[in-house]
């Protein structure tokens, strides 16, 4: 079995080298193999093969150990976001039907209240488990499910994505070819371990790197981790990057060990990328991934030099990673020529089995071995893939397609705009019309120097200069922060609900110059 062989390989060759690290302890490769084997033996005694084990815990090295042990024991790990409400956790647990939960103290307390009959295992006690008698063979093959990861639920209820070891192995191969971490590379996992981005941590473990786990991202914790652990590579989402650059004490911090900053989950604005390279002096590597596709699938390396965006607001994701096939198609799945917008579809060993107990949803995105990402983009003549927007985020105004990313790119040109998200609002005249939620530099709402109406006039003038009339927002709504999920994706459902309220905060866009209403 692949994961078991990875542990054996590195534990045999470098038993004393660090494999995992958090603020509580450092786990060597030898210790990781021993602790994982002990936990796998305990799981075998309590959980039947193929059954589900919920993992409800904050970030700590034992969470990764639990995922590895579940795979070795032949059971399926189900990461659960501890920040969810009780009702949201119940939705996931009722769907997967776990027979055991590995949880920290806070998780066990919540489960005791809501699921008193569900057996639990204290995740903090993993290092103290007794060594197993002998080394039994792993129960699973590459095609057996090992993880059920849940989608971000930015547009509705989360769906369980069933992942097998073949997917994890394929992704580790892609990562080794495109990013190429060497054994001993120190990697910082700053994101949540319940999310699909944990696949990246497993990619680094497969390479023999040291994975350092933050309990929770804060800019101060990130700075301290880089300084203390001499972190060389890290993966952050753009909102984390912005917080890091805004952190007090950054100028005095010793971040000289950090050489590569990988980013994904949301577009990195060009202005922010330039600030990162200027102030941190690190190389940037863009990663595009999707949970249903097994994780990262497209990447743009530091030495890649794509041309200018072929479509306003488009973001270059790079080229398909090793082992990943990609097509741009129309809605029926027929390939589109270079330069033409269409749906991005992926094929390869990294794809999910499907959505848990949801064949209809699976069939809607997975057909003939190709996954429809539901992202809209194109491929240029040099093979670079450009992302324009999510199909679900598309705004249909008077029968014309409006891409929020294009509007957001224009509004970010204003020095007054720190962050922005555009969503549709219902319109009796046009069906839908764009509404822009704006975080203003230096504050939001009444805390800015100019009045709300002056801000709207300024941003409207910018849109008149750069956007066709049908693309221009009908309202600009000042907001303190753009709501995002733990992976950094905008919670557009929250903003849509607010945009649907005609009397919500935010004034209509300033009057449009004569003739600008022409479609």
Exposed e or buried b for every residue in 233-263, given b needs 16+ CB within 10 A? bbbbbbbbbbebeeeeebeebebeebbbbbb
Q: Cα(382)–Cα(338) distance, rounded to whole angstroms?
A: 9
Q: Does domain 1-125 have CATH number 3.40.50.980?
A: yes
Q: What is the pTM of this model?
A: 0.81
C-alpha 154: how far from its chain's center? 12
Instruction: Classify 251 as helix, strand or coil.
Output: helix
* Cα→Cα distances 371→145, 153, 294, 366, 375, Å: 18, 18, 11, 5, 11
Nearest to 320 by CA among 297, 343, 337: 297
Indicate the domain borders of the chain.
1-125, 394-508
Long-range contacts of 447-452 (CB under 8 A, 24+ apart): 448/416, 448/478, 450/416, 452/478, 452/506, 452/507
DSSP 8-state code for residue 266: S
pLDDT score for 143:
87
- pLDDT number for residue 122: 97
Question: Do 401 and 430 form a contact (C-beta atoms < 8 A)?
Answer: no
- Rounded to whole angstroms, the Cα distance separating 79 from 64 reads 10
Spatial neighbors of 367 by CB under 8 A, at least 6 apart, are 333
Per-residue pLDDT, 378: 94
Tokens at 412, concatenated: 């970010």
Please spell the DSSP secondary structure of 167-223, one letter per residue: HHHHHHHHHHHHT-PPTT-EEEE-S-TTSTTHHHHHHHHHTT-EEEE-SS--HHHHH
Query: CA angle at residue 382 from 376 to 385, to 5 degrees?
Result: 20
CATH of domain 394-508: 3.30.300.30
Tens digit of each residue's pLDDT, the chain (519 residues): 688 899 999 999 999 999 999 999 999 999 999 999 999 999 999 999 999 999 999 999 999 999 999 999 999 999 998 988 888 889 899 999 999 999 999 999 999 998 999 999 999 999 999 988 765 565 568 888 999 998 865 445 778 999 999 999 999 999 999 999 999 999 999 988 998 889 999 999 999 999 999 999 999 999 999 999 999 999 998 878 988 998 988 989 999 999 999 998 777 878 888 999 889 999 999 999 888 998 889 999 999 999 988 987 788 999 999 999 999 999 888 999 999 999 999 999 999 999 999 999 999 899 889 999 988 899 999 999 998 877 677 787 866 778 787 888 889 889 989 999 998 888 877 778 899 999 998 644 444 444 778 888 999 999 988 887 888 999 999 999 998 876 677 888 788 888 887 655 444 444 333 333 333
User: Can you give the length of the chain in residues?
Assistant: 519
* Tokens, residue 257: 């060990």
pLDDT of 406 reads 81
Lookup: tokens for 169:
């192995």
In Å, what is the CA distance from 127 to each residue of 27, 58, 122?
10, 17, 11
The C-alpha atoms of residue 247 and residue 203 are separated, in whole angstroms, by: 29
Q: Report the pLDDT value the prediction gives residue 137, as an integer from 0 to 100.
A: 60
């Amino acid at each position: 079995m692949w994961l078991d062989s990875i542990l054996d390989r590195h534990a045999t060759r470098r038993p004393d080298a660090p494999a995992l690290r958090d603020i509580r302890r450092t786990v060597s490769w030898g210790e990781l193999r021993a602790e994982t084997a002990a936990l796998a033996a305990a799981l075998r005694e309590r959980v039947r093969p193929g059954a589900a084990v919920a993992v409800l815990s904050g970030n700590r090295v034992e969470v990764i150990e639990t995922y590895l042990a579940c795979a070795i024991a032949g059971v399926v790990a189900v990461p659960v976001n501890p920040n969810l409400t009780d009702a949201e956790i119940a939705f996931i647990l009722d769907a997967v039907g776990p027979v055991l939960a590995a949880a920290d103290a806070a998780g066990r307390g919540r489960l005791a209240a809501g699921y008193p009959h569900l057996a639990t295992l204290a995740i903090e006690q993993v290092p103290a488990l007794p060594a197993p008698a002998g080394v039994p063979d792993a129960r699973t093959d590459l095609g057996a499910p090992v993880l059920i990861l849940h989608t971000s639920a930015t547009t509705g209820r989360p769906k369980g994505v069933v992942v097998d070891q073949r997917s994890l192995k394929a992704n580790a191969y892609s990562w080794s070819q495109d990013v190429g971490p060497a054994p001993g590379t120190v990697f910082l996992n700053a994101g949540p371990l319940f999310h699909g981005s944990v696949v990246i941590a497993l990619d680094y473990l497969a390479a023999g790197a040291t994975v350092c786990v933050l309990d929770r991202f804060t800019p101060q914790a990130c700075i301290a981790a880089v300084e203390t652990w001499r972190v060389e590579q890290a993966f952050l989402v753009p909102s984390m990057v912005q917080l890091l650059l805004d952190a007090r004490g950054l100028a005095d911090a010793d971040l000289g060990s950090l050489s590569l900053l990988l980013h994904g989950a949301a577009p990195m604005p060009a202005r922010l990328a330039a600030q990162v390279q200027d102030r941190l002096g690190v190389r940037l590597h863009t990663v595009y991934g999707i949970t249903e596709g097994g994780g990262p699938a497209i990447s743009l390396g530091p030495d890649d030099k794509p041309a200018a965006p072929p479509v306003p607001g488009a973001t270059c994701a790079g080229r398909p990673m090793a082992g990943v096939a990609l097509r741009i198609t129309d809605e029926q799945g027929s390939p589109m020529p270079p330069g033409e917008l269409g749906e991005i579809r992926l094929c390869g060993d990294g794809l999910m089995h499907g959505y848990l107990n949801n064949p209809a949803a699976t069939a809607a995105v997975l057909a003939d071995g190709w996954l429809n990402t539901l992202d809209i983009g194109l491929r240029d003549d040099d093979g670079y893939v450009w992302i324009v927007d999510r199909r679900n985020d598309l705004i249909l105004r008077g029968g014309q397609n409006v891409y929020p990313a294009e509007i957001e790119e224009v509004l970010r040109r204003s020095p007054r705009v720190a962050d922005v998200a555009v969503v549709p609002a219902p319109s009796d005249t046009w069906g839908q019309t764009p509404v822009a939620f704006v975080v203003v530099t230096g504050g939001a709402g009444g805390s800015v120097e100019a009045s709300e109406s002056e801000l709207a006039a300024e941003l409207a003038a910018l849109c008149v200069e750069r956007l066709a009339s049908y693309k221009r927002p009908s309202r600009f709504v000042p907001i303190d922060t753009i709501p995002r999920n733990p992976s950094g994706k905008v919670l557009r459902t929250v903003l849509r609900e607010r945009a649907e309220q005609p009397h919500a905060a935010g004034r209509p866009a300033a009057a449009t110059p004569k003739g600008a209403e022409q479609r």
